[in-house]
Amino acid sequence: MAVGAAIIQGDKELQRIMKRMRTTSARRTMTTGAAEAAKQLAKNVKATVPSRFKGARKAIGWRRLKVKEAEGGGAKIGGRVGRSSRANAKSRKRENRKGVGIGAQNIHWFIDGATHRPRRTKETRKYTGVMLSKTSGIPSVDETAKRSLGQLKAQFAMGARKQLAKEVAKGKAFA
């Protein structure tokens, strides 16, 4: 919501209109704008991930926030976020393959790394080693958002204006 709030503050005309709108219509307008910006940001984040980490690219997604998560509306971007990440987690089966690779179910290891991963056995606890974070050369979501702020503002404004036009056409925008 912080990025969405910064974007809406930059567009004076849209801000004036939003102040006069009904709460539900304003929330829908904000969420639609944030969703359009989130789609673009997710694409930009995926583009920064090297091609050898294809599973990590697939696990990055976005979704709209519910009212209880953000009263003013918004969207969320990250690893294992959105519908496609759940589908990827279910569809990948191990069978006889030795490694599972990086996918939606273990994207957190790719991002954060892991130290001293114990493997429980009946006799003793064996350690399988350490997995370092693979994101050392990859910019974070925040850095990517800062780099593409102009593009995100344009997407946000476009999405918000489209939704505003729909709300006005329905006659539900203003009380």
How many helices (H) and strands (E) the chain has is answered by 8, 4
Q: What is the pTM of this model?
A: 0.72
pLDDT at 158 over 80: yes
CA angle 71, 77, 79 (to 5 degrees): 135
At residue 22, the pLDDT reads 86
Higher-confidence position of 112 and 161: 161
Q: What tokens appear for 127 in the block?
A: 């350690």
**To the nearest whole percent, how much of the chain has pLDDT over 90?**
13
Question: What three-state secondary structure class fits 71?
Answer: coil
Confidence of residue 36 (pLDDT cuts 50, 70, 90): very high
pLDDT at 35 over 50: yes
Residue matched to tokens 């959105």 = 82
